[in-house]
Amino acid sequence: MPSWCCKALMGSHLHLLRGLVWQAVGTAASGMENGTSPSLGKSAIAPVNRIQVTTSDNCVVIFSKISHSYCTMAKKLFHYTNVNYKVVELDILEYGSQFQDVLYKMTGERTVPRIFVNVTFIGVATDTDKLRKEGKLCPLVHQYQKGSQEESG
């Protein structure tokens, strides 16, 4: 197995870093179902809350659009490195444009994909691939696993 491969992470939650990312956009939130979901959020504040919960409850989150080539690249990168990830397809969400507005406020860009690891925005697909090539991606993922084990221990 290549040195950049990571083992899959499943079912862990890390809430320690929640407040750091959300100071500029909002506060604590409600739950969200796992997997790709076409309808998230029913109010103007829902995108902020849903983004916060999703990124704190999943090690890797990709805010994506279904047929966008760089989004596909990001998904394949995590798939081939055996890392579980959560995908939020913005183009099939009822409030996808509002989600993208919030992501712009958080990250400074509206482009997709927007990739978060351990609640931290790490960049787009090319940034993530660069981290992988430099051997920096897996340590970020493993921090989540370690923190989750300490939290449950």
Which residue range is the domain that position 78 belongs to? Answer: 18-152
- With a cut of 50, say whether residue 122 has pLDDT above it: yes
Hey, which bits of 53-135 come out as E strands? 60-64, 86-89, 114-117, 120-123
Sign of CA dihedral 116, 80, 141, 50: positive
Q: Write the CB contacts of 103 (distance below 8 Å, at least 6 apart in sequence).
A: 51, 63, 109, 110, 114
Q: 148 lies in a domain?
A: yes
Q: 142 lies in a domain?
A: yes
Q: 1 lies in a domain?
A: no
**pLDDT tens across 72-89, in order?**
999 999 999 999 999 999
Domain count, the chain: 1
Q: 11 lies in a domain?
A: no
Q: What is the pTM of this model?
A: 0.71
**pLDDT tens across 11-62, in order?**
322 222 333 333 333 322 323 333 444 444 455 558 989 999 999 999 999 9
Question: What radius of gyration, in Å, describes the C-alpha atoms of the chain?
Answer: 15
What values do phi and psi take at 60, rounded to 5? -125, 125
CATH, residue 111: 3.40.30.10
Longest dimension (CA), the chain: 45
